[in-house]
Structure 1
Amino acid sequence: MKVAEAVGRALHAAGVDHVFGVVGSGNFHLTNAMVAAGARFVAAPPSWRAATMADAYARTSGKVAALSVHQGPGLTNAVTGVAEAAKSRTPLLVLAAEVTRPTSNFYVDQEALAHAVGAVTARVTSAENAVEQACAAVGRALHERRTVLLNMPLEVQALEVPDDASALAAPPPERAAVEPTAADVAALAQVLERSRRPVFVAGRGSRGPGCRAALTALAERYGALLATSAVARGLFRGDPWSLDVSGGFASPLAAELISAADVIVGWGCALNMWTTRHGRLIGPRTTVVQVDDDASALGTHRDVHLGVTGDVRLTARRVLEAGAGRQEGYRTAERAAAIAARVRLRDVPYEDMSSRERIDPRTLTIALDDILPAERVIGVDSGNFMGYPSTYLSVPDHHGFCFTQAFQSIGLGLATAIGAALARPDRLPVAALGDGGALMSAAELDTVRRLGLPMVVVVYNDDAYGAEVHHFGPEGHALDTVRFPPTDIAAVARGYGFEGVTVRTIADLKAVQDWLTGPRSAPLLVDAKVAGDRGSWWLEEAFRGH
């Protein structure tokens, strides 16, 4: 058995059951070996979108996923998707064929390329150690929550593996939960006991098993309100004290209550500029606590009064055990009534900008929220529109929202929805895109159709790069470079085998209802001609912070 085959088999034995990518000569044997061992291969050109599919699959499934790419341009083409995964600390394994001769036209410094976007690297160096090195890369991705580039030199791939080498393949042990110190537990309990208006903000580190139960029990003890960062949206779905998302996507009531908190605890949450509206949601006298199982994450984005190194679930449980008594905190009957009536953005009155030719994106999204099944998984692209699906479309839980926005690249939304759909085949996948991102990723419509996914793709089509229009337009700048002639994106989708409908008014959404009640034998694209009269509120917040 050659190294390429042995490594492919070992990776599947180590728990990698999905591999995404584009196959060329350098990764042909490795990819085929993974498929032969039982992994599912998802072909998705170009490779940067394959990287995003793998990223979304890993986030939604909780498993390490793999991206397989050709040497040189296969990896350089994937860099945008790899950067998103690396910046998000997604456990992802990038399997890259490698040429080591600088005179080869395929040669690039692949290690330097990976490090430049925040990934870490490993290399298969010999036939004797190939299986062990590959499994170690899987373990590192899992235990350190990192995107790992595993370089596979072509000359090493072709070597013969010793007969006993494949016996070393095995799944890595589960990541050990970090126990907080007794002193940190006591300090956090003391902060909460003194608080009168505490707010918990849960982030990516709170998405693990048992975290919701531990956090809601602790919040009940101290009367805390509950919020999440965007990537953990849905974690507290159904809790009467949930404020939904903190930051730019927060409703006016949620922003008011968070900014009035006397204690904010970030649980596995970076408390970055997006989650805190560039710090404006944190009052000048608010005590800020951050809990994270990675000590290097504490205080990275802002100063904190108390940093606790520990697993979210364990830390919440230990503080609950250490505390005494109960307190009302922020949970009063008056606030409960306000949260029930006004915490959802759809319950906040607005001036409907719809006309006979253009539908207000808020009106569109509220209607879609009522039409689409509750059991859904949503992937969102970047752009002026993105706040509408990210807030007005409800999700059943934190596995229902995949938000690949750490790098803020337009064009990742459809690939995100595909990866999430493969991880949750029990839910209706919904991709929310702007027209710019939809046209950038049109080739992925073929992937959706080829995979047979019963997906709904909603395109918020304002015939422009809306973020730039609303940022630069008010200052009188020429906008010809960011406005485009009208495009019939529904017709483009029909060319790929979709059902395509154009929506200008609420009445046009009957076609979506008809699709939902039908056989769903082909995916559906909704080309929504949205009103672009003004910028979105979340983007105004973002630009105000720069």
Structure 2
Amino acid sequence: MTTCAQYLIDRLVAHGIDTVFGIPGVHTVELYRGLPDSPLRHVTPRHEQGAGFMADGYARATGRPAACFIISGPGMTNIATAMAQALADSVPMLVISSVNRRDTLGRGQGRLHELPDQRATLAGVSVFSHTLQTPEALPEVLGRAFAIFAGARPGPVHIEIPLDVMALPAPDHPPRVAEVFAPAAPDAALARAADWLTAAERPLVLLGGGCADAAEPLRELVERLDAPAMTTINARGVLGLAHPLDLGACASLPAGRELARDADVILALGTELGETDYDLVFDEGFRLTGRLIRVDIDAQQLARNQAPDLALLADAGEVARELCARLPAPAARRGAERAARVRSALALRDAADVAPYTALLDTLREALPDATLVGDSTGAVYAGNFMVDMPAPRRWFNAATGYGTLGYGLPAALGAALAVPERPVVALVGDGGLMFTLGELATARDAGVPLIVVVWNNDGYGEIRRYMDASAVPRLGVDLPAPDLVGLAESFGCHGRRLTTPAALHDALITARHADRPTLIEIDADAWQGV
């Protein structure tokens, strides 16, 4: 007999899942019965939060979802933080969990891993959370999840399977797997958008994470409009390397805001226009006075943060293709000159928040120009969000957006390394954030990938320390001397290096790229800045 749990494995493969992150437990052993004979790769993290971050990194690096197998109760509350980060950043992730028998749910009998209402607990950090009542319902529920991943604003989906349902017989009919397409804009809306953009004298384009899989048509659209473009953190690389119209994520800075206020028509594609991309100084000073055209696959998102004059519920890439076909020959609006003036006014390399990290970021780019860089919430990453340039999308992402969790960098980088083994992957983390998920070094060792972990060690929470100083708040809870990180890495079976100069970092990165195991490179922040 094929059980519901074994049937689930077959359905995941049919939907294109190839990797599962999970920690086996007594409540999920049935899910593991069919795994050894399936094509699915299983990766065992050291904490369920790590499983979620790994699935997140896998999805951001590829655009495809990964799955997590998580035990009920503490396993689900452990992964909730990773799910919240994925929800905030529209990252597809399928979380399959166990839950107690159907006849015991909600009765408060003190059973193992019992929550009063596990489904409701996880509903707040997922696109939807569903309790599977029968095996026959599984194809439909999975179909809903993958329809969201492909045709709507993606995010984590949680499906919990009661212990008694896992062991029930599977349906005996093979279900269909639908090919899902995102919504398309009507001709009338496209015609009006094209008219406004054609008549614009000072257009501006805002590109968000929803543009990551449509680099070619979006680059053509920006060039046809001859318009400066602000690319958010999750859209970095959409326009390619050193594009003259690409201003990066400068919407929180004075010169970027002035450009935005001066624009007569603004085209915002696949961006929520949220605080962590457009208002990092937290004063709500990003203002658009021109006509705003918004394009998004989430109808609710079209009305949030900035009210549009024209809203198109559609896929950003398809809208870009349609607009390119409707716009006249490439305009001459001195877009590159406008962008250059903003770039000069920004003077990012000399900015106080960026300058301490320019040598580090330059060295990473010079030594590993094709690398995927995955960051935690740390000073070097904040600086990189302003100044790092990428040759393609899905090569720069971090937890400084949206939910803004710590501990993301290491496990998410491992997920990316497993997803794109043909490219080097670097986790750029601080010593404070590393300690949240340090155990995942063991998972990286087990995976046998040459993951590179670059740790900016400033003995604690340097960004919060700086914020306290600027706010005249006494330092408390931020000075935390790190352990011997190199020794720890070696005890995990990884390579460890401690260095203080860009030249030494360059050589260490080249060596680590071709290593037979993960490498942790510790940078002493004070010594580095002294050099």
Task: With the length of structure 1 as denominator, give the TM-score of the two structures.
Answer: 0.86
Q: Which amino acid aligns with 1:94?
A: V
Q: CA deviation at 1:156?
A: 0.9
C-alpha offsets along residues 41-80 of structure 1, whole Å, 9 cap, x if unaligned?
1111200110111122122222221110011111111111
Shift of 1:489: 1.6
Q: Which residue of 2 aligns with 1:20?
A: 21
Instruction: Determine the structure 2 residue equivalent to 1:105.
Output: 112
Would you say 1:45 and 2:53 are equivalent positions?
A: no
For residues 387 and 146 of structure 1, do their structure 2 counterparts lie closer, same or farther at Cα, with a shift above 3 Å needed? Answer: closer
CA contact (8 A) 1:17 1:65 kept: yes
The DSSP-based 3-state class of the residue aligned with 1:264 is strand
Aligned residues: 517
State which of 132, 136, 157 in structure 1 corresponds to 2:166: 157
Deviation digits for residues 356-388 of structure 1 (CA, Å, limit 9, x no counterpart): xxxx432222223222x2111111101334223
What CA distance in whole angstroms lies between the structure 2 residues aligned with 1:29 and 1:135? 22
* Residue from 377, 382, 403 that aligns with 2:377: 382
Looking at structure 1, the residues matched to 13 and 480 of structure 2 have their Cα atoms a distance apart, in angstroms, of 46
Q: How far did 1:243 drift?
A: 2.3
Q: Specify whether residues 500 and 248 from structure 1 end up closer, same or farther in structure 2 by C-alpha distance, changes over 3 A only.
A: farther
Contact 2:363 2:502 in 1 (8 A): yes
Report the Cα distance in structure 1 between the residues aligned to 2:132 and 2:354, rounded to whole angstroms: 58
1:18-63 deviations in Å (ceiling 9; x for gaps): 1111111222221342442211111112001101111221222222
C-alpha displacement of 1:235: 0.8
Letter in 2 for 1:262: D
3-state SS in 2 of match to 1:298: helix
CA displacement, residues 509-546 of structure 1 (integer Å, 9 cap, x when unaligned): 265156258x4123221111114999xxxxxxxxxxxx
Q: How far apart, in 1, do the equivalents of 2:447 and 2:75 lie? A: 22
Q: Take 2:417 and 2:91, find their aligned partners in 1: how far apart are those partners?
A: 17
Report the more deviating stretch, 19-28 or 179-188.
179-188
- CA 1:284/1:87 → structure 2, altered by over 3 Å: closer, same or farther? closer
C-alpha distance in structure 2 between counterparts of 1:114 and 1:480, whole Å: 33
1:238 paired to 2:241: yes
Paired with 1:384 and 1:316, the residues of 2 have a C-alpha distance of 35
1:12–1:34 Cα contact (<8 Å) kept: no
Alignment of 1:514-525 (within 5 A): 515-516=511-512, 519-525=514-520
What CA distance in whole angstroms lies between the structure 2 residues aligned with 1:419 and 1:353?
28
Question: What is aligned with 2:71?
Answer: 70
Q: Secondary structure at the match of 2:37?
A: helix
Question: How big is the shift at 1:465?
Answer: 0.9
Q: Which residue of 2 aligns with 1:268?
A: 270
CA distance in 2, matches of 1:225, 1:420: 30
TM-score w.r.t. length of structure 2: 0.89
Secondary structure of 1:67's counterpart equals strand
The C-alpha deviation readout for 1:326-358, integer Å capped at 9, x for no partner, is 4312425x457668x859977x3468999xxxx
1:6, 1:131 within 8 Å by CA — same for their partners in 2?
no
Deviates more, 1:479-488 or 1:65-74: 479-488
Secondary structure at the aligned position of 1:275 is classed as helix
Structure 1: distance between partners of 2:9 and 2:415: 21
Change beyond 3 A, Cα 1:270–1:505: same
After TM superposition, the structure 1 = structure 2 runs for residues 383-532 of structure 1, keeping only pairs within 5 Å, are: 383-404=378-399, 405-509=401-505, 511-512=507-508, 515-516=511-512, 519-531=514-526
Which residue identity does 2:289 align to in structure 1? Answer: R
CA RMSD of aligned residues (A): 2.9
Contact kept, 8 Å, 2:252 with 2:278, in 1: the verdict is no
Structure 1 unaligned blocks of 5 or more: 355-359, 535-546
Distance 1:507 1:270 in 2: 40
Query: How many Å separate the matches in 2 of 1:320 and 1:504?
Result: 49
Distance 1:134-1:240 versus aligned 2 partners, 3 A rule: closer
Rate the CA distance shift 1:81–1:35 in 2: closer, same or farther, 3 A. Answer: farther
Residue 156 of structure 2 is matched in structure 1 by: 147
Q: CA deviation at 1:429?
A: 0.5
CA contact (8 A) 1:466 1:532 kept: no
* One-letter amino acid of the counterpart of residue 456, structure 1: I
Structure 1 residues 30, 136: CA separation in 2 closer, same or farther (over 3 Å shift)?
Answer: farther
Deviating more after overlay: 28-37 vs 10-19: 28-37
What's the counterpart of residue 130 of structure 2? 122
- 2:305 matched to which residue of 1? 301
Q: CA deviation at 1:267?
A: 0.7
Matching residue of 1:321:
325
User: What amino acid sits opposite 2:427 in the alignment?
Assistant: A
Alignment match, 1:223:
226
Question: What is the CA distance between 1:205 and its match in structure 2?
Answer: 1.5
Equivalent residues of 1:227, 1:236 under 8 A apart: no
Query: Does structure 1 conserve the Cα–Cα contact (< 8 Å) formed by 2:4 and 2:135?
Result: yes
1:171-250 equivalent positions in 2, closer than 5 A: 171-173=177-179, 175-208=180-213, 211-238=214-241, 240-247=243-250
Structure 2, unpaired ranges of 5+: none
Query: What is the CA distance between 1:258 and its match in structure 2?
Result: 4.5
Specify the code of the residue in structure 2 equivalent to 1:153. Answer: P
Distance 1:249 1:522 in 2: 39
Aligned-partner SS, 2:300: helix
Amino acid at match of 1:229: T
Matches of 2:58 and 2:201 in 1, distance apart? 40
Distance 1:352 1:154 in 2: 52
SS at match of 1:483: coil
Change in Cα spacing, 1:35 to 1:142, as seen in structure 2 (3 Å) is farther
What residue identity is the alignment partner of 1:266?
A
What is the deviation of 1:197? 1.9
Q: Contact 1:197–1:224 (CA<8 Å) still a contact in 2?
A: yes
Task: Single out whichever of 228-237 and 282-291 deviates more from structure 2.
Answer: 282-291
Deviations 1:176-200 (A, max 9, x none): 1322122211221222122222121
Give the stretch that moved more between structures: 5-14 or 29-38: 29-38
Partner of 2:84: 83
